[in-house]
Amino acid sequence: FKNPHYAAGRTTMVHLFEWKWNDIADECERFLGPRGFGGIQVSPPNENLVIRSRNRPWWERYQPMSYILTTRSGNAAQFASMVRRCNDVGVRIYVDAIINHMTGTWNENVGTGGSTANFGNWHYPAVPYGRNDFNWPQCEIRPEDYGNNAERVRNCELSGLKDLNQGLEHVRNMLVNYMNALIEMGVAGFRIDAAKHMWPRDLQVIYSRLRNLNTAHGFPNNARPYIYQEVIDLGGEIISRNEYTPLAAVTEFRFGLELSRCFMGQNQLRWLNTFGPHWGLLASGDALTFIDNHDNQRGHGAGGNILTFKRARQYKGAIAFMLAHPYGKPQLMSSFNFQDTEAGPPQDASGNIISPSINSDGSCGNGWICEHRWRQIFSMVAWRNTAGTGAIVNWWDNGSNQIAFCRGSNAFVAFNNDNWNMNQNLQTCLPAGRYCDVISGTKVNNNCTGKTVNVGSNGRADIVIGSDDYDMILAIHRGPES
């Protein structure tokens, strides 16, 4: 369950938060496939409670009504078509699976597929679930439970959401049927929402009943789905991420927290020469890594002070380091703009999601940020693909916040997070030649629109990053783009 089964040479996935299925399929064909992205995490595809009284907040999608594949992102046919079109251009689909709970009690009770529920009786006829399928007696998780009561964290309600009992055969069957239907449609794996709130032994049974990936979508024989379990473990809680790594991969929340500290100037970049398990991070093969996610970019969930698109220069630095460093399996966040932390995606007067528009410079409009279309970010995805499995070599630092390193003999990167200029003659691992920096520009007709780097026959090059440069990064690599 720890292999994402990316197409050959691909390494990175992006969370297209609240995107519609048809738009994702288009994005696979026109951008993500050609640019070498490995996969996409999509918003929950199953029916959720419609919350008009709060103007359709993003979090309504974390309130399941049923496993019918109808949401604001589209219907089952649109979902199936998206998976087919994305797999055909080498981009995998991973589903955000909400299997810990159903909706909370609310003053509205119609779902995005038209289903209704009787909250007072724990009755969800469209699944169907009844009262006996939920943990009993009903209780709500208290803040102190996270410190000392694993039983309550697993068997009580997370913010009032009706808590399913995954120990029961009927519940397991409903969940496995839902997930297997998605695998049949060609998805490559799942984010397990709120995994901390479910017993590892129950999850193990559920995972074991999942079918192999669909070979008609290009997966090898006997391929298991990629599973990354959302466990927020910043230390000091009764439940540890280590209870989940024997089962499948785990979201490594400490990764983005540490890199955010570094690139916000609260820790020196030079210390990153030991980044990885030395810093208390999971084993690399167990970790799904990211800077921000849909929760902590808006102060939901747990997780401290995280860089996001709103602090773009530092954020791009942290993202570039994530993509340059061999640790973990990176996931990018692709956001819609927001001021109100509860606000849903751009929508029209009827509540339909408005598609992102694509500007002539490749960026997005209509309220979508599309971090994955920022040159500094998609160029580093290609950089990581080129670096492949190459180890870090030629580490250099200035004793504070200027660092540089190579991956194998394919790719070189440098960062300047000091408030003075960086101007150094450094050893790269690249063959002699003229390279285009893929951060400050691109290569057009064999000329660089940004900085040019000349690597000499000894592999050395002058590396210049001014403290006032638009970005704090410089990156070059083998291959046509650089």
Chain residues in the site for Ca ion (CB under 5 A): 100, 163, 197
382 makes contact with ligand LM2 (CB under 6 A) = no
Nearer to Ca ion, 141 or 210 (CB): 141
Among 209, 270, 300, 460, binds ligand LM2 (CB under 6 A): 300
- Whether 438 and 379 have beta carbons less than 8 Å apart is answered as yes
Among 118, 132, 159, 447, binds ligand LM2 (CB under 6 A): 159
Q: Which residues are catalytic?
A: 193, 230
- Candidate segments 154-162, 272-280, 281-289, 316-324, binder of ligand LM2 by CB under 6 A: 154-162
The Cα–Cα gap between 37 and 442 comes to 18
161 binds, among Ca ion, ligand LM2, none (CB under 5 to 8 A by kind): ligand LM2
331 binds, among Ca ion, ligand LM2, none (CB under 5 to 8 A by kind): none
For residue 439, what are its two tokens? 């951060």
338 makes contact with ligand LM2 (CB under 6 A) = no
53 makes contact with ligand LM2 (CB under 6 A) = no
331 makes contact with ligand LM2 (CB under 6 A) = no
- The partner residues of 168 in beta bridges, in order of sequence, read none
Residue nearest to Ca ion (CB): 197
396 makes contact with ligand LM2 (CB under 6 A) = no
Nearer to ligand LM2, 26 or 145 (CB): 145
Nearer to ligand LM2, 290 or 415 (CB): 290
Least distance (Å) between residue 191 CB and ligand LM2: 9
104 binds, among ligand LM2, Ca ion, none (CB under 5 to 8 A by kind): ligand LM2
- Candidate segments 58-66, 245-253, 372-380, 453-461, binder of ligand LM2 by CB under 6 A: 58-66
- Candidate segments 28-36, 159-167, 263-271, 353-361, binder of ligand LM2 by CB under 6 A: 159-167
The Cα–Cα gap between 90 and 32 comes to 9
161 makes contact with ligand LM2 (CB under 6 A) = yes
163 binds, among ligand LM2, Ca ion, none (CB under 5 to 8 A by kind): Ca ion
How many residues bind ligand LM2 (CB under 6 A)? The answer is: 17
Least distance (Å) between residue 358 CB and ligand LM2: 28
Residue 268 zone, left/alpha/beta (φ > 0; ψ -120 to 50; rest)? beta
230 makes contact with ligand LM2 (CB under 6 A) = yes
Least distance (Å) between residue 155 CB and Ca ion: 6
- 3-state secondary structure string across the chain: CCCCCCCCCCCCEEEECCCCHHHHHHHHHHHHCCCCCCEEEECCCCCEECCHHHCCCHHHHHCECCCCCCECCECHHHHHHHHHHHHHCCCEEEEEECCCEEEECCCCCEECCCCECEHHHCEECCCCECHHHECCCCCECCCCHHHHCHHHHHHCEECCEEEECCCCHHHHHHHHHHHHHHHHCCCCEEEECCHHHCCHHHHHHHHHCCCCCCHHHCCCCCCCCEEEECCCCCCCCCCCHHHCCCCCEEECHHHHHHHHHHHCCCCCHHHHHHCCHHHCCCCHHHEEECCCCCCHHHCCCCCCCCCCHHHHHHHHHHHHHHHHCCCCEEEEEECECCCCCCCCCCECCCCCECCCEECCCCCEECCECCHHHCHHHHHHHHHHHHHCCCCEEEEEECCCCEEEEEECCCEEEEEECCCCCEEEEEECCCCCEEEECCCCCCEECCEECCCEEEECCCCEEEEEECCCCCCCEEEEECCCCC
Nearer to ligand LM2, 59 or 244 (CB): 59
Nearer to Ca ion, 100 or 112 (CB): 100
63 binds, among Ca ion, ligand LM2, none (CB under 5 to 8 A by kind): ligand LM2
- Candidate segments 59-67, 75-83, 124-132, 317-325, binder of ligand LM2 by CB under 6 A: 59-67
175 makes contact with ligand LM2 (CB under 6 A) = no
106 makes contact with ligand LM2 (CB under 6 A) = yes
Least distance (Å) between residue 197 CB and Ca ion: 4
Residues that bind ligand LM2 (CB under 6 A): 59-60, 62-63, 98, 104, 106, 158-161, 193-194, 230, 295, 300-301
